[in-house]
Structure 1
Amino acid sequence: MLIGPYVNGAAVIIGGLIGAMAGNKLPDRVKAALPMTFGLCSVGLGINLVIKVKFMPAVVLAMVIGAVIGELFYVEKGIGKAAGMTRGLVNKFLPPVQGLSHEEFTEKFVAILVLFCASGTGIFGAMHEGMTGDPSILYIKTVLDLFTAAIFATMLGYSVATVGIPLVVIQVALAMLANYIMPMTTPDMMADFSCAGGLIMVATGLRICNIKLFPVANMLPGLFLVMPFSWLWYVLVVS
């Protein structure tokens, strides 16, 4: 029986609700400082994942082609529309967030959606539990996500809690597919997958800090390409 995805999703929902309720009580300087700090942590974690790479050319090729696919299919634009609809729906029932334009809200919402739902830790943790029944990796992510959701909810309000729903759906799907995916993977493929996830986390961190607004969501197709490309690189070039 799967446990990790539901615990992780519940943590995001609870953290989002707590942060939204506490948002008005926090000074503006604290609200400004916390996301910058977490953005820096995201960059650091991303770098830690990137250095595990085995075949960097395969990762680069997967990320470039993935970004092209994302741009052609307007992935980020679609997620942005969903974010706007979510904000409108939540605002009908709960107090709306003040002081954020639609563009600012969308940028930050897309960033946290990627951070929660497409992180290497979450994807690998879900696959690991599906294959072994061990939810320990997702438990670690749960602790981090609880505080992260609370931090961002101080700015984005109750909409952050809704991210817990797609997070559960994605992790449950990955866990169910793990029996088919994991036996076909190698340590080198997992290392390159971690590298791709790390690159996205670095881009997410820079975006959160308003240093560079990378189209993070448009980079996501690269995550689906990196393992096959890593395997092809080993077969065609290395071996």
Structure 2
Amino acid sequence: MILLGTLVNALAIIAGALLGRLLSRIPESVRKTVMQGIGLAVILLGIKMGLGSDNFLLVIISIVVGSIIGEVIGIEKGLNRLGQWLEKKVGGSKQGGIATGFVTTTLVYCIGAMGVLGSMDSGLRNNHDILFTKALLDGFSAIIFSSTLGIGVLFSAIPVFLYQGLIALLSTQIYNVVSQSMLDAILVEVTAVGGLMIIAIGINVLELKKINVANMLPALVIAALGVPVTEWLGKLFS
């Protein structure tokens, strides 16, 4: 079953979010300190991802161009509207609570190499070990996020399932389009760009400054397309 790993990942987020709600009566001071710790850990993860780039100029171009595209499209506003719609349907405890939890954790769970690589492994080899590991990590983090950000964390399981499931299904044909070496190079740069976005998420969690991270999502596509373009230009001018 190609989608088994993706399904387990989504269910782990739901289970973690529900368990986290049972811990929602944690004192505010404790929750604030926990969120600060999570924010610092997220930033550290982003730095680790970002330092893996082999072409930092491509990373910068991807972030700039991707951010412009995202701002024009209004991805952040769209995700917030979806979160606010869920809030009206479910009934959040405070204005914007569900939207904040939904948007924040959707970005955290969807950005990163683990989801991409795990989904591809599921599609190509029907091996779900990476996604099972990601499910464990996401489930535990969902407990913490849900206890601090609210039930909106639960709904992030939906885009995670759709995103990873789509990659798993499309990956069965990926080697008809790109070679293994090209795919490896693409993943390196996409991971680096994703790392910068993860750092931005950490800054948001720490409430240092509000960054519209969702509007940077097209940067991942720009980075993926930029690798073969860069290689082609290198051959052209060599």
The Cα shift of 1:110 comes to: 1.7
- Write the mapping of 1:182-197 to structure 2, written as runs, cut at 5 A: 184=178, 185-197=182-194
For 1:235, give the aligned amino acid.
W
1:5-46 per-position Cα deviation (integer Å, ceiling 9, x unaligned): 01110010001111112202x111221112211111111111
- Write the mapping of 1:1-239 to structure 2, written as runs, cut at 5 A: 1-2=1-2, 3-24=4-25, 26-91=26-91, 96-97=92-93, 100-102=94-96, 106-181=99-174, 184=178, 185-237=182-234
Unaligned runs of 5+ in 1: none
Unaligned runs of 5+ in 2: none
Question: Which of structure 1's runs of 4+ aligned residues deviate more than 6 A?
Answer: none
Q: Structure 1 residues 37 and 231 mapped into 2: Cα distance closer, same or farther (>3 Å)?
A: same
For 2:198, give the aligned amino acid.
M
* Rounded Cα–Cα distance in structure 1 between residues aligned with 2:192 and 2:146: 28
Of 128-137 and 163-172, the range deviating more from structure 2 = 128-137
The Cα shift of 1:186 comes to: 3.1
* C-alpha contact (below 8 Å) 1:75/1:217 kept by paired residues: yes
Structure 2 length normalisation: TM-score? 0.90
* Rounded Cα–Cα distance in structure 2 between residues aligned with 1:4 and 1:125: 8
The Cα shift of 1:212 comes to: 2.3
Q: Structure 1 residues 60 and 215 mapped into 2: Cα distance closer, same or farther (>3 Å)?
A: same
* C-alpha contact (below 8 Å) 1:16/1:149 kept by paired residues: yes
* C-alpha contact (below 8 Å) 1:189/1:227 kept by paired residues: yes
The Cα shift of 1:118 comes to: 2.9
* Rounded Cα–Cα distance in structure 2 between residues aligned with 1:230 and 1:119: 17
The Cα shift of 1:108 comes to: 4.5
For 2:214, give the aligned amino acid.
A
* C-alpha contact (below 8 Å) 1:31/1:155 kept by paired residues: yes
The Cα shift of 1:159 comes to: 2.4
Count of aligned pairs: 231
* C-alpha contact (below 8 Å) 1:120/1:198 kept by paired residues: no
Structure 1 length normalisation: TM-score? 0.90
For 2:217, give the aligned amino acid.
L
Of 128-137 and 75-84, the range deviating more from structure 2 = 128-137
* Rounded Cα–Cα distance in structure 1 between residues aligned with 2:175 and 2:193: 17
* Rounded Cα–Cα distance in structure 2 between residues aligned with 1:126 and 1:182: 14
Identical aligned residues as a percent: 29
* C-alpha contact (below 8 Å) 2:100/2:149 kept by paired residues: no
Q: Structure 1 residues 11 and 69 mapped into 2: Cα distance closer, same or farther (>3 Å)?
A: same
* C-alpha contact (below 8 Å) 1:59/1:230 kept by paired residues: no
* C-alpha contact (below 8 Å) 2:123/2:172 kept by paired residues: yes
- Helix, strand or coil for the counterpart of 1:139? helix
